Amino acid sequence: MRRVMLGLMLLLMAVPVPAADREAAKASYRQGNELFDKNHFADASAAYSHAIEQDPQFLEAYFNRALADEMVDRQKATADWRQFAGLAAHSPDFQYQAGQANARIQILGLFPAYPEALLPSHYAPAASDYYLDIAELSESEKWNSFPIKVSIGNVPNANWAQGTREAFGIWKEMFPLELTAEPQEADIVFRWDEDLSDEGHAGEELDWVQFRRVGGELSSRKVAYISIDLSHRWTKDEMRAIVLHELGHALGIKGHSESKGDIMYFQVQSKRRQVVVPGIPYPFAWRTLVSKPSQRDLNTLIRLYNTPGVVMRMK
């Protein structure tokens, strides 16, 4: 009986995938790639699954499906990577990719449980993201425990204090933050005693590692410090925009967006328009301030936290 079963299995394995099915699989695969490049990760995963159904030996489809599923469901992505690694282990042409798969399985296993706002289900594909622009600098700057404690400290004037607290409240609605009155216990600390005027920018965020002795052991933890230029008479709204931007850096985005609609755009924008006053053009200038993180900003954070490093999809 065993020999009969073994013979049947060998016979089934020897039957080639029909050419029509292979062509259909390639069409599904191309559709998956198009959807992946548009950040429609769940739809891309479904298209890759269809390609695999049509051609069970389509290793590129297994690889890309696992990559897409990192932005759909962590457990599913881990299972996909394991399946790909098992198949690729027997293919000399995919040894490098098999190593990538095993590395990603390990990294995904180290990720903590994320709060609701950081789950892939909150990623909005239509808004896209700028993850690839900031990933290299940002991958090692993600937080692993939540909520993140923030010490605002003694803000020099009431307008700045209001703008700072508004910025904190806006981010708190989207990210697990908690105010603390104890700077030594905070993960993010505002410092209002430095002059950044010589640096040429409104704010600055720097990460430091603090060491503490707990009992007989020395422990370390990351602390993000935010300093604001005190030489300028910022309005409340300007301070809110500056703090929103610097908090974005502190939360993990160690780069900038090139879109003026994002809070992580690299500068406060100015515009100039002509207003007609009794037939005479009159120049009128003002600053445009982004009032809250855009969906692109949020998408970038979600993708940053759920992706174990940049790997490009297979072509």
- Enumerate domains of the chain plus CATH numbers: 2-110 (1.25.40.10), 125-306 (3.40.390.10)
Q: How many CB atoms lie within 10 A of CB 28?
A: 21
The residue-averaged pLDDT of 7-11 equals 45
What's the confidence (pLDDT) of residue 220?
66
172-190 burial: b if 16+ Cβ within 10 Å, else e: bebbbbeebeebeebbbbb
pLDDT confidence tier of residue 289, bands split at 50, 70 and 90: confident
The residue-averaged pLDDT of 162-167 equals 97
pLDDT of 151 above 50: yes
The rounded mean pLDDT for the chain is 86
What's the confidence (pLDDT) of residue 5?
45
pLDDT of 295 above 60: yes
The residue-averaged pLDDT of 133-149 equals 94
pLDDT of 6 above 50: no
Could you tell me the pTM of the whole model? 0.84
> How far is it, in rounded angstroms, from Cα 72 to Cα 69?
5
What's the confidence (pLDDT) of residue 207?
64
- pLDDT tens digits for 184-229? 999 999 999 766 555 555 677 776 555 444 455 545 688 999 998 8
pLDDT confidence tier of residue 10, bands split at 50, 70 and 90: very low
Cα 9 to chain centroid distance, Å, stands at: 45
Q: Pairing between strand 203-214 and 217-228?
A: antiparallel
> How far is it, in rounded angstroms, from Cα 90 to Cα 74?
25
What's the confidence (pLDDT) of residue 139?
92
pLDDT of 111 above 70: yes
- 13-17, 19-23, 82-86, 296-300: segment of lowest average pLDDT: 13-17
The residue-averaged pLDDT of 161-171 equals 97
Q: Pairing between strand 148-151 and 177-179?
A: parallel
- pLDDT tens digits for 37-74? 999 999 999 999 999 999 999 999 999 999 999 999 99
pLDDT of 4 above 70: no
Interacting residues of 248 by C-beta distance below 8 A, sequence separation 6+ = 171, 263, 264, 293, 297
